[in-house]
């Protein structure tokens, strides 16, 4: 399975039987069977707002509150392929970086959970800023830079991973009880640079482009540690730009 969510309705595609079909009968890797069949959309004239209204009752049926379902779809659906402008994905640049030590706060999550209102990542960012975590981290290499780290993958992007927010440090001594340390190995990275815009919009859009790029690229991920780098370009969260480093096999 190369696609996590249907690029029309946002439904998680957890098995191949949920994939839509082409006119030839082959499986389509981007859309679910409820949106796409026999090489075409089942509701070709449906607008995005109509799709949101259509999906909300199913999410309520699965236990989500109506207002939560509506808010989630309004937030995520504009980034799906069917509703986005058909723009080419910018090619990454490739760099080699030495291994580094990291210190910060950490939680365990996965992409399926993060697509729901129960996602851990927004809570982690709230905690990071409200508790002034950066002030608690000693021996920082560049205090002006924040790293959002994805590590300790269970398998690939479908499995669980550790999500941490912190920074590079020279050593990991004298850690407080709330902080973790991680050692990220040297690696070659494919570096994707987001568009300039609102932080909560450009990051999910970039990750969707990254997943899409790796579907056809002759490059394999190592899952040894990937990270988002927040530097001086993020001083204004309404007009921010972020580099996302994906560890790859040479």
**CA–centroid distance for 129 within its chain:** 20
The pLDDT of residue 4: 66
Q: Tell me the pTM.
A: 0.77
Residue 196 DSSP symbol = S
The burial of 204, by beta-carbon neighbours within 10 Å (0-12 exposed, 13-18 middle, 19 or more buried), is given as middle
Per run of 10 residues, the mean pLDDT along the chain (length 250 residues) is: 74 89 93 96 94 93 87 82 76 96 96 80 94 91 96 92 96 84 97 92 87 89 97 94 96
The pLDDT of residue 15: 87
Closest CA to 148 of 224, 76, 243: 243
Domain boundaries, the chain: 16-79, 93-248
What is the distance between the alpha carbons of residues 178 and 38, in angstroms, rounded to a whole number? Answer: 53
Q: Are 196 and 202 in contact (CB under 8 A)?
A: yes
93-248 CATH fold:
Multidrug-efflux Transporter 1 Regulator Bmrr; Chain A (3.20.80)
Backbone dihedral region of 174: left (phi > 0), alpha (psi from -120 to 50 degrees) or beta? left
What is the distance between the alpha carbons of residues 155 and 175, in angstroms, rounded to a whole number? Answer: 29
The pLDDT of residue 63: 86
The pLDDT of residue 230: 97
CA distances 248 to 77, 155, 160, 211, 213, Å, are 29, 15, 19, 13, 13
Q: Are 169 and 137 in contact (CB under 8 A)?
A: yes
The burial of 177, by beta-carbon neighbours within 10 Å (0-12 exposed, 13-18 middle, 19 or more buried), is given as exposed
């Amino acid at each position: 399975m190369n696609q996590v969510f249907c690029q029309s309705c946002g439904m998680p595609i957890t098995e191949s039987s949920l994939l839509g079909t082409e006119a030839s009968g082959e499986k389509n890797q981007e859309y679910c069977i409820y949106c796409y069949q026999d090489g075409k959309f089942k509701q070709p004239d449906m607008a995005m707002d109509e799709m949101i209204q259509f999906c909300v009752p199913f999410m309520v049926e699965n236990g989500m509150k109506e207002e939560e379902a509506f808010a989630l779809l309004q937030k995520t659906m504009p980034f799906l392929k069917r509703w986005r402008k058909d723009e080419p994905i910018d090619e990454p640049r490739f760099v080699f970086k030495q291994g580094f030590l990291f210190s910060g706060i950490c939680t365990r999550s996965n992409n399926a959970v993060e697509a729901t209102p129960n996602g851990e990542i927004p809570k982690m960012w709230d905690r990071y800023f409200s508790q002034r975590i950066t002030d608690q981290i000693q021996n920082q290499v560049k205090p002006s830079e924040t790293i959002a780290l994805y590590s300790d993958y269970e398998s690939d992007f479908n499995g669980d991973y550790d999500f941490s927010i912190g920074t590079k440090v020279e050593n990991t001594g004298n850690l407080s009880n709330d902080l973790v340390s991680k050692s990220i190995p040297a690696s070659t990275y494919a570096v994707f640079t987001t568009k300039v815009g609102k932080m909560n919009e450009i990051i999910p859009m970039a990750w969707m482009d990254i997943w899409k790029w790796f579907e056809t690229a002759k490059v394999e991920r190592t899952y040894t540690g990937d990270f988002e780098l927040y530097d001086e370009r993020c001083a204004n969260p309404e007009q921010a730009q972020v580099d996302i480093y994906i560890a790859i096999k040479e």
